[in-house]
Structure 1
Amino acid sequence: MIPLSINAFELEEYKKRIVKTIRYIDENLDADLSLEKIAGISAYSPFHFHRIFKLITGETLQNYIIRKRTEKSAFFLALRKDVGIKDICFELGFSNHSVFTKTFKKYYGVPPSEFRKTSPETFHKILQLQRKNGQVDTVFSQYICNIENLLNWTTMNLKIEVKEMPEMNLASVMSLGIVNVEPSFNVLVDWAVKKNLFPRENVKMISVYHDSFKVTPPDKVRIHACMLLKEKLEKQEGEIFSETLEGGKYIVGSGEVTLHDFEQCWVSLFLWMNEHHYSMRRAFPFEIYHSNFKEHPEGKMIVDFCIPVY
């Protein structure tokens, strides 16, 4: 069993192994993700791992896997219109279409076929409310503004390009929930200072989004706080692990914005993507920071918002 109190070293070791496990799960949603299989990857016994995982993430392994598969399917339904619903079902590891439909409706209140009809041009996020009877109800919030105004805002505030970007080697720290991103960057910077990697000229800090706010509650969204490296990190060092961003075609929206503008930037950029008939490929969107908002009198920063497309 996990002791009632654990020291800092033990907690860091738990985090390190759970980070490895979560990354494996998210990269293998269509594979065998049984407790025994996942526990083996973490090098804990199934009994011990089950409790450690819940301690770190706040949910059981099974709930995490089901949630990730369902959220990823919602993301694909919204943005990969060319892929059939049954194909998405099996691609994400559901045993059959009936189970997929039942699970999806439990999470989002509507079956996948109806959800797919919900245009990203009409709604920008999904909120889940827990009713008194325990059933989850899905509430769609209205778009920030109408399409025309949003596209005008995009034109005025972002320079949008479609371009090839190189593969990037990163040092990363995982955070679960938007409120934990800044502490994760603090961990990353402390590590980089000890390695003489920070501060230095033209250092690039990056946030990689492994979940979408469209389908994942803000306290569950997985975001990696990252630093661009010249060479690949050879091994994990505490909470710091190596990550590689795929090279390839990206829609890149660049602008000087405040933190308050970030949601509108992402929404408008995905709208631009659909308006210009691009499709998102299986890679992760990310932000590249070229300046620090804390050093600007109006709290602005220069950011590249990047969506992988084909």
Structure 2
Amino acid sequence: MKKDTKHIRADIVNKSLTYIYKYIDTNITLDELARLNKVSKFHLHRIFKEETGENIFDRINSIRLQKIANLLISNKYSTISEIRQSCGYSSHSSFIKAFKKRFNFTPSQWKKNGYLEYSKKIVSFDISPNDNFYTIEPIIKKTSKRVCAYIRHKGYDLSVTKTWSRLMAFSYEKELNNTTQIGVFYDNPINTAYEECSYIAAIEVDNRFISTNSISKLEIEGSLCAVFHYEGIYGDAVKLLVYIYNYWLPKSGYEAKSLPPYALYHKNHFLDENREFSLDFYIPIQVV
């Protein structure tokens, strides 16, 4: 496969997924995704399948269900119908059927701590919060849009190191010095298998950046955020994420938005030889 072809195909997948995550609360159609990428519906469907191994509609449905499962845990003040609609499910009956098929619990059962039973089957670490987490007082602030160059990665494990190394090599080649490193976390590992969690390794760039060499461009939306500063070692960052969504948010007076959380790394444990990190975790929120 030629380099240009590889880049075009990667860009089609990345544009499509970015659009899906951004507009997950709407009825996303193949027509609009095809227009976005300036290709035919058949071409889009084939490329997405070949590049990801997934049917595009199956992926949209999976993203919706994973987001709903997370919001049912964190957003205690929202009804199941409100959460369903915020993630683009118009039909209540089809949603109930799809959710139970995916998680083996009804949404009501899941909301009433069914997720704890489910997590025992897929989580390899103790989801009980570190006592240090309770001492963190987040800052609530409005953030601005960030423009990033990025690479997608599947999994929250140490295999992310190779993705970060590749991105930083690209940064070196393009002389993008002293850029802010950002990790975007799309999934909660208590409802999505660790190796299946979607992650983005990103560096902040100027708005004039043009996608190249299979490195795509992403805009992180500005939002009201709860910002948690934490320092630790590899493994602690995901535990902090679980703490925020499972323990802090339900009692905070805020609820999570469907936007993904992200970390600004001051020290990146995927690039540090001692696997240590210092980061600010940004959680998009809304007032209850």
TM-score (norm 1): 0.78
Match of 1:53 in 2: 48
Q: Aligned equivalents of 2:251 and 2:145: distance in 1?
A: 28
Q: 1:74 aligns with which of 63, 69, 74?
A: 69
Structure with bigger gyration radius: 1
Match of 2:21 in 1: 26
Amino acid at match of 1:189: M
Contact 1:251 1:273 in 2 (8 A): no
SS in 1 for 2:228: strand
Give the 3 Å change call, closer, same or farther, for CA 75–290 of structure 1 in structure 2.
Answer: same
Contact 2:143 2:225 in 1 (8 A): no
Contact 2:65 2:99 in 1 (8 A): yes
Contact 2:249 2:255 in 1 (8 A): yes
Contact 2:67 2:258 in 1 (8 A): no
Match of 1:136 in 2: none
2:7 aligned with 1:16: no
Where does the alignment leave 5 or more consecutive residues of structure 2 unmatched?
A: none
2:170 aligned with 1:177: no
Correspondence 1:1-310 to 2 at 5 A: 6-118=1-113, 123=116, 126=119, 139=121, 144=126, 146=128, 150=129, 152-155=131-134, 159-178=136-155, 181-198=160-177, 200=178, 203-229=179-205, 231-270=206-245, 271-293=247-269, 298-310=274-286
Deviation at 1:151, TM superposition (A): 5.5
Where does the alignment leave 5 or more consecutive residues of structure 1 unmatched?
A: 1-5, 128-138
Q: Which has the higher contact order (CA 8 A, sep 6+)?
A: 2
SS in 1 for 2:85: helix
Give the 3 Å change call, closer, same or farther, for CA 282–296 of structure 1 in structure 2.
Answer: closer
Amino acid at match of 2:180: K
Deviation at 1:52, TM superposition (A): 1.1
**Count of matched residue pairs:** 283
Amino acid at match of 2:119: I
Deviation at 1:185, TM superposition (A): 2.5
Deviation at 1:159, TM superposition (A): 4.1
**Which range is displaced more, 290-299 or 34-43?**
290-299
Amino acid at match of 2:143: P
Contact 1:30 1:94 in 2 (8 A): yes
